[in-house]
Chain A
Amino acid sequence: MSRTMRAVSRRDFLKLGGAGLAGAALLGAAGCGQSQGGGQVVKFFTGTAETTSQEKALIEIQVDRFQKQYPKYTLEREAVPTESQRDVIQTRLQSDNPPDVFSYDTGPGFGGVLADAGLLRSLEDAYKEKGWDIYDWAKQRATYNGTVYGVPVQVEEIVVYYNKSLVPEPPQTVEELRQIADDLKGQDIIPFSFGDQEQWPAGHMFSIGASNVLGREGLDNIFYGDGRWDTPEVVAAIDLIFRDFVESGYYPEGVNAITYDDANNLFYSGQAAMNPTGTWLVSTIVESVQDFEVGFFPFPSIDGSSIAPPAGVGAGYFVAKNAKNPEGAITFIDYLLQDDTERLSMEKFNTIPAHPVDTEGIDVPELFKQVLADLSQEGQTKSFGYNIDVLAPQNFNDVMFTGFQEVLDGSKSAEEQASALQEAWEKAKQQGNIPTQE
């Protein structure tokens, strides 16, 4: 039997091509994508979750459940890594086809920059109309030049998570912390799983140190008064966290080349005993750590200072000025703020809403209950500091992020960094870019 190969004629080629295109169009129409729903499209642009299971749960809540409750809308959810989101958000908002609603960091260095550029829609009317009951102090972080532009998503605290099988008791002072760290080093265990390749983790570490040595009052004095960043207390805190701890070998080797995820993995795997980061990581820790119990403590007192862990608002929801469907965007935000949606988010992601929610009977892990209990002490037995990068302007954050890498690698001293921070602050002040107490 002979086998011949017939050349494809132009007509056949066109037929095949047409069939292929029609097939692709049918598949597209069948909804191979993430969003299926009613007529009006709402475009939501956000950062990706820490894990794939969380991403899946987010899609269930933010897309499927929303579309079920509001069948007239189709939610198109686009998630990119947070760092990438920061790089592209301005371009996206200026385009002809911007996202209707997006999540982004609050504070003058993030949401404030977008508001100044006229890229955000005022939410004053939406707050009144929908009766959103966001805590006043949280709302302030999304209020720029007297107008509220955002809806804070969650409250966060920066703490030190610890492996209970490696750290017997939470330390109260830095001296006790040193003793624990030295013992851990003797066991070949990395004391702190800190990595600063992305630069922003250093901002959290600085917030820890500055909040303790200055306290909330001292930080308020800098943010809203005439306080300075280049004081001996701040220099001492920088020196302790960014020089002393490096020289003592408390961080992983090559801390500037370790990513945030790498650092977290060191903690999950038991190679590192303590992890200084935020409460946004609770659900990932619960999901990832199986072999030991995790607790947390606020960074201890530095030379007799107060203990004031940084706390505040993280990201918020914003509506683009040129949103094609602002009504849909506001409906989506309203849906996310509903009690039942918030309870679901608390259970699935262990997030703390920035508004009162009935938490009775809520099913959450023990670690998250402890976080909730800790944050509820605000103003009673405990005073909190600030997560500085949320409040600081962009130029200050840039000096903070770049400069601390240099302090960590020894090419810049604590004094030089404190001076650089003060200089950046004064520049921002002159330009009217610092936060205000409105």
Chain B
Amino acid sequence: MDATGTKGGAARRRRRDLIAGSAGVPAVRRQQARYAVLFVAPALLIYLVFMIYPFLNTIYLSFTNWDGITANKDWVGLSNYVRVFGEEAALKAFVNNIIWVILGTVAPVVLGLFEALLVWSGARGSLLFRTLFFLPFVLPLVVVGIVWQWIYHPLFGIVNTVLDSFGLDWLSRGWLADPHTALYAVLIAAVWGQTGFCFLILHASLQNVDMSTVEAAMIDGANWFQRARSIVIPQIAPQITMVTAVTLIGGFAVFDIIYVMTGGGPGNASQVLATYTVKVAFQQNEAGYGSSLAMLITILSLVSAVAFVRLRERQR
């Protein structure tokens, strides 16, 4: 083949065209990229100023003894983190947080799933139940806290009144005043408030379930529980994962409902990391130490959420 032969020449031309073409594509892409940066910039700026900067600043503050008021910020190394693991109140808050995360995640997801399956299976009055199950989610957790404070009120609360009327007065107590029950009493209120969210997401995801497989299972004689476990739940597993991850992360950062109902008391009986952080940082003026607690919450949330999602993906 000669250098200007038909075959070779055509190949070179094609290559030249391709090269010319590929030179045009980056130019367009560069322009598109410029626009993209322009459009993303405002949101990115807001994100940097309000999320990344405070986050990095909190990391820095967690290594100082800043009191949150004065300009003095002395570097104290890891001593704030060492203190977290040596302080009784912080450990109590940590243990309570773990209890909260476990029960406060499992209970609303399981209850929400059960309610969603119940409504989805077309039980009588499903519209009423759908409304009832979703209703708590509409209420802000602060309102939920105030309402449940009345429910638990030691003098005129409905819980003690009902117990008394059934002759179970020996069970009556100040539910939020007893260090053995305070955390669980608040947890029940939070589960009531959170279940609506799980129900909503899972109920929506159930609308995409392949009905032919469910019908086939019915024909094969599978009962309600078997159909739910083997046919329906596997199909909505990604949504269950998402709901669980969101609830899990929320569990580590829980603050408002505990703050309203018990303030972390009695003593430190219902203290969790977030309420303890606020107490330490803003009431005791130990912003440096408070920052280390805040970092601990962040690390725990991230690690547990990532671990959970990875685990689910591996199972799939």
Contact, CB under 8 Å: A119 / B69: yes
A173 vs B146: C-alpha distance when bound (angstroms):
40
Contacts of B177 in A (CB 8 A): 197, 254-258, 409
The answer to whether the Cβ of B210 comes within 8 Å of any Cβ in the partner chain is: no
The answer to whether the Cβ of B154 comes within 8 Å of any Cβ in the partner chain is: yes
Contact with B along A249-276 (1 / 0, CB 8 A): 0001111111000100010000000000
In angstroms, how far is the closest chain A Cβ from the Cβ of B57? 15
The answer to whether the Cβ of A52 comes within 8 Å of any Cβ in the partner chain is: no
A94 vs B285: C-alpha distance when bound (angstroms):
14
- Determine which residue in B68, B174, B267, B285 has the highest number of CB atoms from chain A within 10 A of its CB, and name it: B267
A257 vs B68: C-alpha distance when bound (angstroms):
30
Contacts of B266 in A (CB 8 A): 256-257, 405-406, 408-409, 411
A234 vs B67: C-alpha distance when bound (angstroms):
32
Nearest neighbor of A254 in chain B, beta-carbon distance: B174
Given A252-B155, A255-B174, A257-B154, A405:B265 Cβ within 8 A: yes
Given A252-B155, A256-B265, A117:B176 Cβ within 8 A: no
Contact, CB under 8 Å: B153 / A257: yes
State the interface size on chain B (CB cutoff 8 A): 28
The answer to whether the Cβ of A87 comes within 8 Å of any Cβ in the partner chain is: yes
Contacts of A94 in B (CB 8 A): 69
Contact, CB under 8 Å: B178 / A409: yes
Contacts of A406 in B (CB 8 A): 179, 266-269
Contacts of A198 in B (CB 8 A): 263
Contact, CB under 8 Å: B153 / A409: no
User: Quick one: which of B69, B154, B262, B283 contacts A252, CB cutoff 8 A?
Assistant: B154
- Determine which residue in B68, B69, B269 has the highest number of CB atoms from chain A within 10 A of its CB, and name it: B69
A90 vs B176: C-alpha distance when bound (angstroms):
30
Contacts of B197 in A (CB 8 A): none
The answer to whether the Cβ of B284 comes within 8 Å of any Cβ in the partner chain is: yes
In angstroms, how far is the closest chain A Cβ from the Cβ of B145? 13
Contact, CB under 8 Å: B269 / A409: yes
**CB within 8 Å of A: which of B256-274?**
262-263, 265-269
Contact, CB under 8 Å: B263 / A197: yes
**CB within 8 Å of A: which of B33-72?**
67-70
The answer to whether the Cβ of B75 comes within 8 Å of any Cβ in the partner chain is: no
Interface size bracket, A side? 20 to 34
Contact, CB under 8 Å: B174 / A398: no
Contacts of B263 in A (CB 8 A): 197-199
In angstroms, how far is the closest chain B Cβ from the Cβ of A195? 10
Contacts of A395 in B (CB 8 A): 284
Contacts of A408 in B (CB 8 A): 266
In angstroms, how far is the closest chain A Cβ from the Cβ of B194? 23
Contacts of A46 in B (CB 8 A): none
The answer to whether the Cβ of A118 comes within 8 Å of any Cβ in the partner chain is: yes
Contact, CB under 8 Å: A253 / B173: yes
Given A253-B173, A411-B267, A258:B285 Cβ within 8 A: no
In angstroms, how far is the closest chain B Cβ from the Cβ of A372? 34
In angstroms, how far is the closest chain B Cβ from the Cβ of A409? 5
User: Quick one: which of A90, A116, A254, A405 contacts B154, CB cutoff 8 A?
Assistant: A254
Contact, CB under 8 Å: A117 / B267: no
User: Quick one: which of B153, B154, B173, B285 contacts A113, CB cutoff 8 A?
Assistant: B285
Contact with B along A340-351 (1 / 0, CB 8 A): 000000000000
Contact, CB under 8 Å: B155 / A256: no
Contacts of B269 in A (CB 8 A): 406, 409, 411
Contact, CB under 8 Å: A398 / B283: yes
Contacts of A199 in B (CB 8 A): 263, 265
The 4 nearest A-B residue pairs measured at CB: A254-B174, A254-B154, A406-B267, A117-B69
Chain A residues proximal to chain B, CB less than 8 Å: 86-87, 90, 94, 113-114, 116-119, 197-199, 252-258, 262, 266, 394-395, 398, 402-403, 405-406, 408-409, 411-412
Mind listing 22 A-B residue pairs with CB under 8 Å? A86-B283, A90-B68, A90-B282, A113-B69, A117-B67, A119-B69, A253-B154, A253-B172, A254-B154, A254-B176, A256-B174, A257-B152, A257-B153, A257-B177, A257-B262, A257-B266, A258-B154, A395-B284, A398-B283, A402-B267, A403-B267, A405-B266
